């Protein structure tokens, strides 16, 4: 699909730069709607916007982190259903793994023998922050209280939380792409293709505002460009 009825024409350069690094070249250049303008906002340090937006993350750890911040601030928020199911599974597993050493079943945790083994391999400040929360006594009751503050129905005056994979075939007025989406864990051709698909899906959900890391295009050029063979 090379034409958009969702995003404005001004997004074409950004989208085409991302797609240009895909191993399978698109049939034609992407072209946004001439009748629309999608404001592109770049950020260096993440902060929660004062206006409602949809946070799209790579994984549920970041969704949990943002949910905690919104719940603490008594902000209205909604978690996309598919993400909500994964979030409950992950955090319940994590708490029981940390507290009682109960063997987890979630894919993010299942291969580790102990919670400390998991944390030591992540090199992720979000996971470190969650570990500190657990050390301070955060438990199942606290998690349930945060979940209890989530809206039951998606509303235009509430923040929306989800993973990029949960947002396929959806569109939102304002989208904030989290920095954790810009991580290449598989340097193979297939791994790069999957990540490009992932990033493109995230940025192309926005209609009115797209909020993205300021270094995204440089990062894509550096990490995802085909390797030279000469």
The predicted structure's pLDDT at residue 35: 65
Q: Which residue has the tokens 């024409």?
A: 9
Nearest one of 79, 82, 107 to 93, comparing CA atoms: 107
Q: pLDDT for 176-189, tens place per residue?
A: 999 988 888 887 88
pLDDT confidence of residue 32:
57
- Segments of 47-141 assigned E as strands: 54-57, 77-79
Distance CA 64, CA 156 (A): 21
| Cβ atoms of 163 and 86 closer than 8 Å | yes
User: Using an 8 Å Cβ cutoff, are 88 and 147 in contact?
Assistant: yes
Q: Please calculate the CA angle 26-8-170 and round it to the nearest 5 degrees.
A: 75
- 17 by DSSP, 3-state: which? helix
Residue 6: per-residue pLDDT: 60
Give the separation between CA 213 and CA 46, rounded to whole angstroms. Answer: 8
Tokens of 38: 């999608």
Pick out the chain residues at pLDDT < 50: 1, 230
212 bridge partner residues? 42
Q: What is the pLDDT of residue 191?
A: 84
Instruction: Give pLDDT, residue 10.
Output: 66
Q: Report the pLDDT value the prediction gives residue 145, as an integer from 0 to 100.
A: 97
């Amino acid at each position: 699909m090379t034409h958009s009825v969702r995003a404005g024409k001004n997004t074409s350069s950004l989208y085409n730069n991302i797609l240009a690094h895909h191993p399978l070249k698109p049939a034609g250049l992407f072209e946004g709607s001439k009748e629309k303008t999608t404001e592109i906002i770049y950020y260096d340090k993440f902060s929660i916007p004062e206006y409602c937006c949809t946070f799209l993350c790579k994984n549920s750890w970041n969704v949990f982190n943002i949910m905690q911040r919104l719940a603490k601030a008594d902000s209205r928020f909604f978690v996309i259903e598919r993400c909500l199911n994964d979030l409950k599974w992950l955090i319940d597993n994590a708490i029981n793994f940390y507290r009682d050493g109960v063997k987890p079943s979630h894919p993010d945790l299942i291969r580790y023998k102990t919670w400390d083994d998991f944390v030591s391999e992540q090199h992720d400040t979000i996971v470190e922050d969650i570990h500190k929360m657990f050390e301070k006594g955060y438990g199942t009751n606290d998690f349930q209280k945060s979940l209890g503050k989530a809206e039951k129905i998606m509303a235009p005056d509430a923040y929306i939380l989800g993973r990029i994979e949960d947002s396929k075939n959806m569109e939102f007025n304002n989208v904030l792409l989290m920095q954790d989406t810009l991580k290449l864990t598989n340097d193979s051709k297939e791994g790069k293709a999957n990540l490009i698909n992932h990033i493109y899906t995230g940025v192309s959900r926005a209609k009115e505002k797209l909020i993205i890391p300021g270094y995204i295009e440089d990062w894509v050029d550096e990490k995802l460009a085909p390797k030279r063979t000469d």
